[in-house]
């Protein structure tokens, strides 16, 4: 069974991302084509990158890095849930991504973003980072607006069309994760 991690990329107190990630997970787990797991970065308190060797070397020195690697390595694809901060993603998500390399390679990624402009600029940056990690990003994405998908800018109430966008994103992540399986097997051999 294809395994997809939904990674919640905000740890800020009062974050809106928890409701978004829960919505993604609750809808994803209704599917029968993959197994979905919600990973909250708050449960992986990584300090600013402190590994002496670049992640591409695959030689991790710290226990927190080894735990993070173990958490991520077994997945075939990812859905990143990210807010947009200052036209980009969160520092905590970028830091968590930077800790690893091979664990991201030849896997698929989709994005669910939120913010005043739907978080699309955060996703633009994440797509560039993903390309360097050989993480194949799908075209579909969910862009949630604080103006239309939140009641009074606080309570998450996604527009009905957002479920269509989520379904399309999950369809593509699952399909691409399966298509990339041959590359992952070849790389492991």
CA distances to 6, 7, 15, 99, 140 from 72, in Å? 11, 10, 23, 11, 22
Stated pTM of the model: 0.97
Buried b (16+ CB within 10 A) or exposed e, 15-26: bbbbbbbbbbbe
Tell me which of 3.40.640.10, 3.30.2010.10, 3.40.50.360, 3.30.497.10 is the CATH number of domain 3-188: 3.40.50.360
Top mean-pLDDT range of 40-44, 150-154, 185-189: 40-44
Q: Where are the domains of the chain?
A: 3-188
Question: How many other CB atoms are found less than 10 A from the CB of residue 60?
Answer: 18
Pairwise CA distance, residues 176 & 164, whole Å: 18
Residue 142 in contact with residue 122, Cβ under 8 Å?
no
Q: What is the pLDDT of residues 131-186, one digit of tens each?
A: 999 999 999 999 999 999 999 999 999 999 999 999 999 999 999 999 999 998 87
Counted residue by residue, the chain has a size of 189
């Amino acid at each position: 069974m294809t395994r997809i991690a939904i990674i919640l990329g905000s740890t800020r107190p009062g974050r809106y991302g928890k409701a978004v990630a829960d919505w993604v997970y609750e809808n994803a787990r209704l599917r029968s084509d993959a197994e979905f797991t919600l990973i909250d970065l708050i449960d992986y308190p990584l300090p600013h990158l402190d590994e002496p060797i670049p992640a591409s070397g695959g030689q991790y020195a710290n226990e927190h890095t080894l735990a993070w690697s173990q958490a991520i390595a077994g997945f075939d694809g990812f859905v990143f849930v990210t807010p947009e901060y200052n036209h980009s993603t969160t520092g905590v998500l970028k830091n968590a991504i930077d800790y690893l390399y091979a664990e991201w390679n030849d896997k698929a990624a989709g994005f669910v973003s939120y913010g005043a402009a739907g978080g699309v600029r955060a996703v633009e940056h994440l797509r560039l980072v993903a390309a360097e990690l050989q993480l194949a990003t799908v075209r579909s994405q969910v862009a949630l607006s604080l103006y239309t998908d939140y009641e009074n800018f606080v309570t998450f109430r996604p527009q009905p069309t957002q479920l269509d966008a989520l379904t399309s994103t999950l369809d593509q992540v699952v399909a691409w994760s399966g298509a990339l399986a041959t590359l992952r097997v070849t790389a492991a051999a």
